[in-house]
A and B are shown apart, each in its own frame.
Chain A
Amino acid sequence: MKKDIILAGVGGQGILTIAATIGWAAVEAGLFLKQAEVHGMSQRGGDVQSNLRLSDKDIASDLIPFGKADMILSVEPLESLRYLPMLSPKGWLITNIEPFINIPNYPEMDAIMAEIEKLPFFVALDAELIAKEIGSVRSANMVMLGAASPFLDIDYHFLENAISKLFGKKGDKIVGQNLEAMKAGRKVAEEKIGGR
């Protein structure tokens, strides 16, 4: 088993929380893991990405080779397109469609969606909206993780355990909200796969 994942977003959007959750789950599932993060300058509102690699064999490179990523998981639509050279021809793009606009020349949303829809395998969802619907606006990232979960090849309960572990300090309510958010995201992805 091998899963190479590019996590994408804008500095400050918290992609490292998603990475940490998958990372916990992977370690508990007994997998090898490498995760290259972006720290420093770009964290001030620039584009950020993380290379997350899971495997049942030892992993050599901290960076995913071009064209070998099994998934791009992006919490922002424009950012989802920035790493396409990394994506395998069989890989999935899982992206949030709520734009984060902090540049004056942000492209038209329609143009972005058209590019996303050109891809053979994608799930596009409005994570903020879904998070709001279940009453926890701050869990959009966990909605995104949920949408990615059917493609991770990690038992779902490992992801649930990871959320309990990572958010445990913040109390049962927060854990519950994040679990529910993940479930809601997962449902969207399952419907998409089922409907294909």
Chain B
Amino acid sequence: MEQKLLLLGDEAIAQGAIDAGLSAIFAYPGTPSTEITEYVQHSAQATKTGIRSSWSANEKTAMEAGLGVSYVGKRAMVCMKHVGLNVAADAFINAGMTGANGGLIVVSADDPSMHSSQNEQDSRFYGKFAMIPTLEPSNQQEAYDMVFYGFELSERLGTPVLFRITTRLAHSRAAVSRRAVLPQNEIRLSSDLKQFILLPALARKRYKGLLKSQALFIDESENSGNNQYFEGPDKSLGIIACGIAWNYLMENYPDRVIPFPVIKITQYPAPRNMIEKLVDECKEVLLLEEGAPLIEELLKGILSKNLHIKGRLDGTVPRDGELNPNIVAVALGLENTRGSEIPEIVVGRPPSLCMGCSHRDAYDALGEALAKYSKGRVFSDIGCYTLGALEPFNAINSCVDMGASITMAKGAADVGFVPAIAVIGDSTFTHSGMTGLLDAVNDESNITVIIADNSTTGMTGGQKSAANGKIEAICQALGVEEAHIKVIKPLKKFHEENVKIIQEELDYAGVSVIIPRRECIQTLNKKMREKAKDK
């Protein structure tokens, strides 16, 4: 019997890419996308065939590196979480304009219900925005297979391909069968050496080409086999199920026979003919989309005339949050099988900073140094240290997007809110903090920046941080005065000393940087375990 692999959706994508002739993968970690790149990094097959895999400083640099690989004719994958695509958006949208040479797949992992994220934006909008094909597999096997198709499509139609997954697929495991391994491409530049020059005159030409390609992309959606029309005898309802919503629909029909006509969509732009047929032949149409009502809005428009369209906009399906089999059951008018309620005594158990985490000691010191000022002065960022927002610390007052700590503190300080403090992690600092610090130096802003350096990207499981060993040099090079770059050791026994140093820098009218430095205890433990294993 052929050997099947038991893979997470993320891992199926990674194995698919390795088998489909990948030459390089670039990414910045972010739940739920992180395991794709980690899988390639740990794959013996990838190492043997010389596939490059590295963590980039941020999603934009990853996206551009991927485009460089595509430029030379090789296959590249770029991975990020949904909000990472905001950071990469400039490169991403313009890559739609340049088109691809070697196959280029951009994986964006959405997190509906915000299990580990600031928002639940739906990456399919970015596919539409860039006007490029988008794939949305419904299960692990499709995820594996669609990587082959995605690379082939990307090269055949000369376009990057967006690959959209959501948390449930990313982090759910199932058996996957493999295909024959493809070799990597040789270096072969585009026949048009001006393809990647988006000077206005050239860009206008490329844009006309992109507009012309739209018909091809829709054709592909109608005919690739990824979107399927299933006939059904009962025309009182037609169903459009996108991506993983398909599984929840099938779950409600144990014999897998659905009485209504159904379109399964896993490829965009939306297959116009299929949808037209469904809308024409059915009395009502139910949209099941994991994420935003993207197709629903397309069908309904703003006029609310097409009232027979049901989904998230008319409340048939909740407006926010991820789908599940029960939500779909209720939307279909089937029985809600919810069991007994959660007993009242059950309280929430929010995540918290690990015992012994260096951020704990840093916040203790900061809290004491700030005690004499009014509250609400700490602009924070995204990482484990964001957990300082919760009890018992209540130590921070903002968390918006990566890098926003330094720049928000700068804005506040520039209009007279002093002291203003920024708290940012080492990985976040090199992701998006450096440019903001340069702004603050150039503007002589009166801020105190705490770069909590635990030598790793803690929140996402301890990936290598691009900042390792470089923070003081970066701050100095950006123009922070050496006398106001202070490294402290966040430990109880240095508490008094640390409070004093923070107070001094709060009193200094200019940019100062304090670096509490102690390794994340999770990565430290992991290292020790690995060392013990090697012995």
Contact = CB atoms under 8 A, between A and B. Distances in A.
A142 to B, nearest CB: 19
A44 B35 contact: no
A135 interface: no
B115 interface: yes
A65 B346 contact: no
A17 interface: no
A102 B352 contact: yes
A175 interface: no
B339 A103 contact: no
Contacts of A159: none
B347 A105 contact: yes
B326 A35 contact: no
Interface string B435-466: 00000000000000000000000011100000
Given A46-B349, A84-B342, A85-B339, A63 B387 contact: no
Interface footprint category on A:
35 or more
Contacts of B336: 66
B278 interface: no
Contacts of A78: 346-347, 349
Given A61-B247, A106-B347, A41 B338 contact: no
Interface in A82-122: 82, 84-89, 91, 102-108, 111-112, 115
Contacts of A47: 348-349
Nearest to B34: A39
Contacts of A67: 337-339
Contact of B340 (A37, A39, A51, A85): A85
Contact of A60 (B172, B173, B247, B348): B247
Given A10-B349, A23-B6, A45-B351, A89 B339 contact: yes
A32 B168 contact: no
A188 B508 CA distance: 66
Interface in A13-51: 23, 27, 32-47, 51
B229 to A, nearest CB: 19
B349 A104 contact: no
B399 to A, nearest CB: 12
Contacts of B324: 61, 63, 65-66
A86 B329 CA distance: 15
B168 A81 contact: no
B329 A65 contact: yes
Contacts of B473: none
Interface in A59-85: 59-69, 78-79, 81-82, 84-85
B325 A61 contact: yes
Contacts of B325: 61, 63-66
B175 interface: yes
Contacts of B338: 66-67, 85
Interface string B296-337: 000000000000000000000000000011100100000011
Interface string B331-374: 00000111111110111111111100000000000000000000
B8 to A, nearest CB: 7
Kindly name the residue among A36, A51, A103 whose own CB sees the greatest number of chain B CB atoms within 10 A.
A36
Contacts of B34: 39
Contact of A62 (B169, B326, B346, B391): B169
15 contacts: A32-B175, A35-B172, A35-B173, A36-B173, A39-B31, A42-B115, A45-B354, A61-B248, A63-B324, A67-B337, A78-B346, A82-B346, A84-B341, A89-B339, A102-B349
Top 9 A-B pairs ranked by shortest CB distance? A40-B116, A40-B31, A67-B337, A46-B351, A60-B250, A61-B251, A62-B172, A44-B351, A41-B116
Interface of B: 6, 8, 31-32, 34-35, 115-116, 168-169, 171-175, 244, 247-248, 250-251, 256, 324-326, 329, 336-343, 345-354, 384, 387, 391-392, 459-461
